[in-house]
């Protein structure tokens, strides 16, 4: 499921030693810097969605805020005091690679919902660019925007947003109906996706006859019915109770395996983020704090905010061997078992503890470092 992220690989050779903070948050200038874009096009597939310097400001004269050098820099609170405007999303930039599950995380009010709605202009952004496969969505006219929503990007909502007067099958095929598909095609496709999300047998139920988890499956099926390239999720499972939530998370993982869609997933639940996300973007007060894989956030939090966020996470479940290995020392005996650098610590614990010698971390035949009992115990003890 994991597709390597192109932009944020941890510094490979320099070991992350204690005391030295590693900042993996991409400086915003870097994202637009030609060199990086060039790298993206050369080395990896072009991003499906590219967000560049996106702003959403609520209030009168909102347009003025991103334009003014002075106002741009103000923290949200001061801006509110000075102008009465609320900056929900400030100068945000990131790319989403094809097939990636990109998670946006932040506390309540940090602007996540606003951000995800700006992607298809359910909320009109104030400034910036949102490129979908290279075309700027913000320049699209009403018609092509509608086409984009009908065919390319679909969304799943926190409170499902189902139509209570329609049966499950009609809810699922509503998107197809809107774009003028025939009845036969609609019912056929609806049956397919209903089966895909495991709701067979409920086609003719009404939404309020279903449990919350099942309703969200309907929401999921509705989004999948139009076979979009990108799925957006706005906290889809936070209205569900924990067990159902876990079911649904597994469902999303399964679907991602089966249909391989690009997903942008909003959540405020870190364990959900770590479970689903290839990469995670952390927001605070509308601004980007850090983007990176789960291991990067845990191993090298950009600041105290992120550190606080990830404090409760069992590090051994997230960190990979790359993060804890140490350089080879002359007296190391190098005949222990070999592991890849992306193996999660937890999975290597047994091997390390059972082996007499440190294990070797090897990538493409190159020995990157070794992991011994001391390193393992340091991580396990911490979590």
Ligand X SMILES: Nc1ncnc2c1ncn2[C@@H]1O[C@H](COP(=O)(O)OP(=O)(O)OP(=O)(O)O)[C@@H](O)[C@H]1O
Binding site for ligand X (CB under 6 A): 58, 86, 88, 106, 108-114, 268
Distance CA 185, CA 240 (A): 32
In the bound complex, what is the minimum distance in angstroms from residue 122's beta carbon to ligand X?
Answer: 11
Quick one: how far is CA 217 from the chain centroid? Answer: 20
- Give the containing element (helix H, strand E) for 146: helix 142-151
**Residue 75 near which of ligand X, other proteins, Mg ion, none (CB within 5-8 Å, type-dependent):** none
CB 132 within 8 A of CB 287: no
Nearer to other proteins, 29 or 142 (CB): 142
Tokens of residue 335, six digits: 């005949």
In the bound complex, what is the minimum distance in angstroms from residue 49's beta carbon to other proteins?
Answer: 15
Nearest 5 degrees, angle CA 222-CA 223-CA 228?
A: 135
- Give the containing element (helix H, strand E) for 112: helix 112-119
**Residue 268 near which of other proteins, Mg ion, ligand X, none (CB within 5-8 Å, type-dependent):** ligand X
**Residue 160 near which of other proteins, ligand X, Mg ion, none (CB within 5-8 Å, type-dependent):** other proteins
Nearest 5 degrees, angle CA 147-CA 149-CA 212?
A: 150
CB 283 within 8 A of CB 111: yes
In the bound complex, what is the minimum distance in angstroms from residue 365's beta carbon to Mg ion?
Answer: 47
In the bound complex, what is the minimum distance in angstroms from residue 54's beta carbon to ligand X?
Answer: 12
Nearer to ligand X, 248 or 266 (CB): 266
Burial 289-298 (b: 16+ CB within 10 A, else e): bbbbbbbbbb
**Residue 88 near which of ligand X, Mg ion, other proteins, none (CB within 5-8 Å, type-dependent):** ligand X
In the bound complex, what is the minimum distance in angstroms from residue 232's beta carbon to Mg ion?
Answer: 12
**Residues forming a β-bridge with 103:** 265, 280
**Residue 179 near which of Mg ion, ligand X, other proteins, none (CB within 5-8 Å, type-dependent):** other proteins
Distance CA 347, CA 299 (A): 17
Nearer to ligand X, 63 or 147 (CB): 63
- Give the containing element (helix H, strand E) for 84: none
CB 119 within 8 A of CB 262: no
In the bound complex, what is the minimum distance in angstroms from residue 171's beta carbon to ligand X?
Answer: 23
In the bound complex, what is the minimum distance in angstroms from residue 11's beta carbon to ligand X?
Answer: 31
Nearest 5 degrees, angle CA 332-CA 338-CA 341?
A: 100
Quick one: how far is CA 24 from the chain centroid? Answer: 16
**Residues forming a β-bridge with 370:** 326, 360
In the bound complex, what is the minimum distance in angstroms from residue 158's beta carbon to ligand X?
Answer: 7
**Residue 290 near which of other proteins, ligand X, Mg ion, none (CB within 5-8 Å, type-dependent):** none
Nearer to ligand X, 106 or 336 (CB): 106
In the bound complex, what is the minimum distance in angstroms from residue 255's beta carbon to ligand X?
Answer: 23
Nearer to ligand X, 58 or 174 (CB): 58
> What does the binding site for Mg ion look like in residue numbers (CB under 5 A)?
113
**Residue 111 near which of Mg ion, other proteins, ligand X, none (CB within 5-8 Å, type-dependent):** ligand X
**Residue 203 near which of Mg ion, ligand X, other proteins, none (CB within 5-8 Å, type-dependent):** none
Nearer to ligand X, 60 or 243 (CB): 60
Alpha helices in 163-318 (DSSP H): 168-172, 174-178, 183-196, 212-225, 242-259, 270-276, 294-299, 304-310, 315-318
> What does the binding site for other proteins look like in residue numbers (CB under 8 A)?
117, 120, 122, 146-151, 153-155, 157-166, 174-175, 177-179, 206, 219, 222, 226, 232
Residue nearest to Mg ion (CB): 113
- State how beta strands 127-132 and 49-58 pair: antiparallel
Nearer to ligand X, 88 or 288 (CB): 88
Nearer to other proteins, 165 or 257 (CB): 165
């Amino acid at each position: 499921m994991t597709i390597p992220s192109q932009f944020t690989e941890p510094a490979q050779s320099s070991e992350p030693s204690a005391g030295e903070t590693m900042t993996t948050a991409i400086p915003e200038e870097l994202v637009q810097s030609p060199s990086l874009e060039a790298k993206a096009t050369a080395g990896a597939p072009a991003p499906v969605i590219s967000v560049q310097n996106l702003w959403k400001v609520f209030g009168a004269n909102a347009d003025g805020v991103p334009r003014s050098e002075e106002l741009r820099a103000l923290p949200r609170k001061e801006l509110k005091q000075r102008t009465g405007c609320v900056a929900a999303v400030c100068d945000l930039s990131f790319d989403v690679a094809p097939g990636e599950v990109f998670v946006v995380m932040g506390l309540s009010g940090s602007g996540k919902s606003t951000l995800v709605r700006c992607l298809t202009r359910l909320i009109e952004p104030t400034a910036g660019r949102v490129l979908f496969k290279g075309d700027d969505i913000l320049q699209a006219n009403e018609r092509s925007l509608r086409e984009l929503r009908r065919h390319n990007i679909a969304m799943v909502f926190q409170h499902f947003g189902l139509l209570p007067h329609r049966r499950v099958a009609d809810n699922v095929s509503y998107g197809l109906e809107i774009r003028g598909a025939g009845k036969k095609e609609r019912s056929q496709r609806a049956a397919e996706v209903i089966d895909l999300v495991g709701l067979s047998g409920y086609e003719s139920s009404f939404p309020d006859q279903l449990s919350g988890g099942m309703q969200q499956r309907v929401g999921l099926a509705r989004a999948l019915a139009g076979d979009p390239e990108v799925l957006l999720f706005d906290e889809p499972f936070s209205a569900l109770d924990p067990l159902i939530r876990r079911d649904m998370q597994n469902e999303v993982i399964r679907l991602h395996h089966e249909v391989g869609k690009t997903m942008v997933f909003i959540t405020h639940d870190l364990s959900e983020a770590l479970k689903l996300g290839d990469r995670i973007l952390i927001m605070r007060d509308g601004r980007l704090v850090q983007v990176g894989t789960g291991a990067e956030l845990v191993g090298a939090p950009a600041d105290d905010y992120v550190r606080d966020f990830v404090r409760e996470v069992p590090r051994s479940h997230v960190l990979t061997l790359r993060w804890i290995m140490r350089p080879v020392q002359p007296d190391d005996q190098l005949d222990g078992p070999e592991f890849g650098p992306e193996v999660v610590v937890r999975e290597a614990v047994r091997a390390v503890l059972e082996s007499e010698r440190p294990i070797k971390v090897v990538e493409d035949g190159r020995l990157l470092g070794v992991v011994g009992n001391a390193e393992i115990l340091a991580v396990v003890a911490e979590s």
